[in-house]
Amino acid sequence: MSEKRELIRKMIQMQREFIAQEQQGGIEQKDYFLPDNNQKLSDYRESYAKVAARVIDLAHEEKGSRR
């Protein structure tokens, strides 16, 4: 399986986990933007952004374009 496909699967899984947590009890803005280190979302934003950026880079490589 290609790296891009695997990263997209990871992004979907992260989204599912986020949605499940939100539906269980909601997510406060402070917990999303400034979470404690022991919270489940502690590195969600940063991790998701890194994975998404890598997917974009891989897509550009496939098409021979640049960001």
**Which residues, other chains included, contact 17 with Cβ-Cβ below 8 Å and sequence gap of 6+?**
40
The whole-model pTM stands at 0.81
pLDDT per residue, tens digit, the chain (67 aa), is 699 999 999 999 999 988 998 899 888 888 788 888 777 777 888 999 999 999 999 999 988 888 7
**What distance in Å separates the CA atoms of residue 57 and residue 44, rounded to the nearest whole number?**
20
Q: Residue 34: what pLDDT?
A: 80
Q: Residue 1: what pLDDT?
A: 67
* Residue 43: domain span: 3-63
Q: Say how many domains are in the chain.
A: 1
